[in-house]
Amino acid sequence: MHTNEGGLKHILVRSIPTYGENGEIIGATETFTEITAFDRLRAELKVTESLAILDPLTHLPNRRLLDEVSPHLRGMAERGEARIFLVFLDLNHFKEINDRFGHLEGDRLLK
């Protein structure tokens, strides 16, 4: 629903039919429930799920996501439906970069 201020509110509408003497529907009772709190929770859950599978700094998939999708990807590769390439980088002595140039520059380099 649109608010008077021009915004949107998400509303859950439930309709319950009202029956006449012969069993025919003669009307309905409707209830309206604002679900803005539900939308907020859903958005927070989406962020939480994203944090669980993506590195927050680089936004690259993490090991948890790899563990989740690898059986599916492996099956696709075995059936000839896709080629799979995995790139793994291990940066040795990265602490020296942070110590010399600072964590902000180290983060910028990782991104």
Low-confidence residues of the chain, pLDDT below 70? none
Give per-residue pLDDT as tens, 90-105. 888 989 999 999 999 9
pTM above 0.85, yes or no: no
In this structure, the answer to whether residues 63 and 106 fall within a common structural domain is yes
Amino acid in position 44: E
In this structure, the answer to whether residues 24 and 53 fall within a common structural domain is no
Q: Containing domain of residue 97, as a range? A: 49-110
| Helical residues (DSSP H) of 1-111, grouped into ranges | 36-53, 63-78, 94-101, 103-110
Asked whether residue 41 is assigned to any structural domain, the reply reads: no
In this structure, the answer to whether residues 13 and 56 fall within a common structural domain is no
- pLDDT of 99 reads 94
In this structure, the answer to whether residues 12 and 62 fall within a common structural domain is no
Q: Which residues pair with 30 in a beta bridge?
A: 15
In this structure, the answer to whether residues 53 and 96 fall within a common structural domain is yes
- CA 73, CA 65: separation in Å to the nearest integer? 12
Q: Which two tokens stand for residue 80?
A: 């000839």
- The tally of domains found in the chain comes to 2
- pLDDT of 53 reads 85
End-to-end CA distance of the chain: 41
In this structure, the answer to whether residues 30 and 53 fall within a common structural domain is no
Asked whether residue 23 is assigned to any structural domain, the reply reads: yes
